Structure 1
Amino acid sequence: MQNGSSSNNGGQGRLPLSAVVADCVKRWFHDTLKEARGGDVNMQVLVSQMYYSGYGVPKDTNKARAWMSKASRSRSSVWIVGEKHPGYNASDSDSDEMMGEAQ
């Protein structure tokens, strides 16, 4: 919308895109944490990855390990992706490499 008809106070007080993205990432972390606390193993892995990389939350390798440990109680293979970027799964690009190693 041009000519000053933006929905956020007529265009005044606009936030830089980086601030908007950072806020979205923080909200994603908090939503993920809620699901992880509820017992969702995939979300526990994601919280661990987020803590490990500092994505949406201050980097904390101790908390990352604690969440990965919790997730590993249900699925021991989660350690493979513990230090990967948030959202990375073992079924992503490393799976072909792991299959080659297993043979």
Structure 2
Amino acid sequence: MEGSGTADKEENFRVPLSDVVSECVKRWFKDTLKEARAGDINMQVLVSQMYSSGYGVSRDAEKAKAWMTRASKSRPSVWRVSDKRPGYNASDSDSDELKEEDS
């Protein structure tokens, strides 16, 4: 039988979804860090949140604080989201505060 053998084994090889997701998250962190280093304040906040939560990178409270401090030089309000999940931004925080005031 031609065609059976190595090619068939490669076609049947499956990577666990958890491994695929883990690699995507790590790549997201690397891409975000690149943009943060280039000066994007939103990405600096995101890098801080990622370091704080250990999302895509090992947890590191000192690096999280350093990135949030860097972002806060241009936008002091970022401290409100320093303890939030990655992707939670200051505009989300503003809407939460409005909800609390309306209650």
TM range (shorter): 0.7 to 0.9
Task: Tell me the CA shift for residue 15 of structure 1.
Answer: 1.4
What 5-or-longer segments of structure 1 have no aligned partner? 1-7
Give the aligned partner of residue 88 of structure 2.
Answer: 88
4+ aligned runs moved over 6 Å, structure 1: none
Q: Distance in 1 between matches of 2:48 and 2:96?
A: 23
Identical residues among aligned pairs (%): 64
With normalisation by structure 1, the TM-score equals 0.83
Give the aligned partner of residue 32 of structure 2.
Answer: 32
Task: Tell me the CA shift for residue 48 of structure 1.
Answer: 0.2
Match of 2:10, as an amino acid?
A: N
Give the aligned partner of residue 48 of structure 1.
Answer: 48
What 5-or-longer segments of structure 2 have no aligned partner? 1-8
Q: Distance in 1 between matches of 2:25 and 2:34?
A: 14
Q: Deviations over 1:24-77 (max 9, x none)?
A: 000000000000000000000000000000000001111000000000000000
Give the aligned partner of residue 3 of structure 1.
Answer: none
Q: Where is the helix percentage greater, Structure 1 or Structure 2?
A: 2
Task: Tell me the CA shift for residue 90 of structure 1.
Answer: 2.2
Match of 1:95, as an amino acid?
A: D
Q: Distance in 1 between matches of 2:56 and 2:36?
A: 15
The structure with the larger Rg is: 2
Give the aligned partner of residue 72 of structure 1.
Answer: 72
Task: Tell me the CA shift for residue 11 of structure 1.
Answer: 1.9
With normalisation by structure 2, the TM-score equals 0.83
**Structure 1 residue 21 and structure 2 residue 42: aligned?**
no
**Structure 1 residue 98 and structure 2 residue 97: aligned?**
yes
Q: Distance in 2 between matches of 1:56 and 1:91?
A: 23
Match of 2:37, as an amino acid?
A: R
What number of residue pairs does the alignment pair up?
A: 93
Q: Distance in 2 between matches of 1:86 and 1:97?
A: 16
